[in-house]
Each structure stands twice: as C-alpha cells, then as structure tokens.
Amino acid sequence: MAKLKTKNGATPQVKIPMMPKGVEHSDILARVSERIALPRVPMRFDYQADVDTLCIHFEGAVSRSLVSEDDELENGVIGIYDGRKLVGLEILDITGQLAHAHPV
C-alpha cells in the first residue's frame, strides 16, 4: 500500500498500487478531493480493481464528522470504523467517472 504524509501543507506525490492502465495517480487524488476533504494524517492507499474501489486507511486520529450519511449516499464515500473510531474510507467507482478510463 502507498503512504501519504503531508508536511507544511504540501501535497506529496502518491503511488497507488494496482491502478488500471492509463489511469494517473493525480487523476485519482483529484477525484477523491472532489468527493471529500482528506485529513492531514499519514494514510495508506489500496486500490481494489475488481470492485473499482479505493480504500484509504488513516494512521492518525480523524474526526468521525469527516463522513456523513449524505457523503455515503451522494458521493459513494463509506467510512470504515473500528468501534466508534473512523479509521479509513472506501471510495466507490473511483475510476468509473474518468473519461480516459472508458474511452468512447
């Protein structure tokens, strides 16, 4: 899994394992940021090609308010919880909306 660590507000380059051919990591991160504001904590990424889902696992404390029921219904963002603690996100259909992922 790839790791994202932010320093001084900078957005580092991230490699997400197992991305489909022709899909850029920067496109995926842009798609994520359109759906939800990521917290500034270290993260691990895991792309699941069989269901076109990006899993993001947080390595620090994250507010439960990051994900609401509206995000789940409207944006395909599902919180991953360990008890009452938000420990990650699943973002559904992450490449499905990219034009070059499904050329005409």
The parts of the chain modelled with pLDDT lower than 50 are 1-13, 100-104
Structure-block tokens of residue 8 = 């001084």
Least Cα distance to 11 among 57, 94, 28, 100 occurs for 28
> Taking a C-beta distance cutoff of 8 angstroms, is the pair 14, 25 a contact?
yes
In angstroms, rounded to a whole number, what is the distance separating the alpha carbons of residues 56 and 41? 11
User: Over the stretch 7-28, which tens digit does the pLDDT of each residue have?
Assistant: 444 444 455 666 667 777 777 7
pLDDT at residue 52, as a whole number? 87
Query: Rounded to 5 degrees, what are φ and ψ at 2?
Result: -80, 155
Where are the domains positioned within the chain?
Answer: 2-101
pLDDT at residue 98, as a whole number? 64
pLDDT at residue 58, as a whole number? 92
